Amino acid sequence: MVNLHSLPPSALRGEGMTSQRARDRLVTKLQEEGIRDDRVLEVIRHLARHHFIDQALHSRAYENTALPIGHGQTISQPWIVARMTEVLIERGMPQRVLEIGTGSGYQAAVLAGIVPQVYTVERIEELLRQARRRFRQLGIENLRSRHDDGKLGWEAEGPFDAIILTAAGDRVPTKLLDQLRPGGVLVAPVGSPSQQVLVRLTKGENGDIEREELGPVSFVPLLGGIG
C-alpha cells in the first residue's frame, strides 16, 4: 500500500511547468516505457521532483532525464528511479530499506512514500545537508540519514530487508551483502563507467546469492570515503 500520508501537501505543490499536470505527463511516459507497478507510479505522480533540484532547473524537473545536482552527482532519470523501486518491491514489501547514495534525496523520498522505514547514507556532507533540509521541509518522517562511507553501509541498523545502490562499482561491497537479511533483495548498478548493468541480488537462507541482470544503465561511480 502506498504511504502517501508520508508525503504531506508541501511535497505535492507546483505550478506551471512544475504542476500536477506535468507529473501526470511524466507518469504516462513511464507507463509507455514499461513501468507497471501502480504503487511506484502513484508516488511519482504525487511527489514534487522539482523540490529536489536547483530552481534554475525547475522547468526540466518532469522530463524523463537525469539532471545535475552539484559535486559531480546527478538526480537519476525518473524511469531509473521507478524501475529500481519496482524491482526492489515486486517480490514482497520490505519493511526496512537501506539506500546507499542519498544524493538529492529524491530516490529516498520515493521509497519513503512506499515502504515503512528508509535509511539512507551519503558520503558528501553538503549533499546530505541539502537532502535533510528537503526531508524536513516536506515533512517526511519515516526516513533516517547518515553521513558516512556508503560502502560500509549502516551496520548498527542492519540487517535490512532490502538495499538499493544509486552509484555503480565493479562489484557490490561485501559489507553491504552482510547487512542484507536472508531472503532480502539488493538492487544496484554494477560495472565500469563505460559498461554497467542493473542487477538484483537475492540472498538465500543459507547466505547464497542469486544474481539477475535487468538491463544496461549508466550511473556515477561508487566511491569510498567521505567528503
For the chain, residues with pLDDT lower than 50 are: 1-2, 5, 10-12, 15
Domain of 145, in residue numbers: 66-217
* CA atoms within 13 A of residue 169's CA, in its CB half-sphere: 15
Check 6, 10, 59, 76 and give the catalytic one: 76
190 part of a folded domain: yes
**Residue 75 within any structural domain of the chain:** yes
pTM score of the predicted model: 0.91
Distance (Å) of CA 29 to CA 16, 35, 117, 200, 214:
18, 9, 28, 24, 20
* pLDDT tens-digit readout, 99-152: 999 999 999 999 999 999 999 999 999 999 999 999 999 999 999 999 999 999
Task: Confirm whether 180 is domain-assigned.
Answer: yes
Name the amino acid, one letter, at 162.
A
Asked if the structure places residue 80 within a domain, the reply is: yes
Confidence (pLDDT) at 10: 47
**Is residue 116 included in any domain, yes or no?**
yes
pLDDT given for residue 227 in this prediction: 81
Q: Label residue 4 exposed, middle or buried (CB < 10 Å: 0-12, 13-18, 19+).
A: middle
Instruction: Specify if 43 maps to a domain.
Output: no
Give domain status of residue 164, yes or no. yes
Q: Give domain status of residue 154, yes or no.
A: yes
6 is an active site residue: no
| Number of domains composing the chain | 1
Contacts of 181 (CB under 8 A, 6+ apart): 158, 159, 160, 161, 203
Q: Which is nearest to 225 in space by CA: 148, 153, 114?
A: 148
**CATH number, domain at 115?**
3.40.50.150
HEC per residue, the chain: CCCHHHCCHHHCCCCHHHCHHHHHHHHHHHHHCCCCCHHHHHHHHHCCHHHHCCHHHHHHCCCCCCEEEECCEEECCHHHHHHHHHHHHCCCCCCEEEEECCCCCHHHHHHHCCCCEEEEEECCHHHHHHHHHHHHHHCCCCEEEEECCHHHCCHHHCCEEEEEECCEECCCCHHHHHCEEEEEEEEEEEEECCEEEEEEEEECCCCCEEEEEEEEECCCECCCCCC
Contact 215, 198 (CB under 8 A): yes
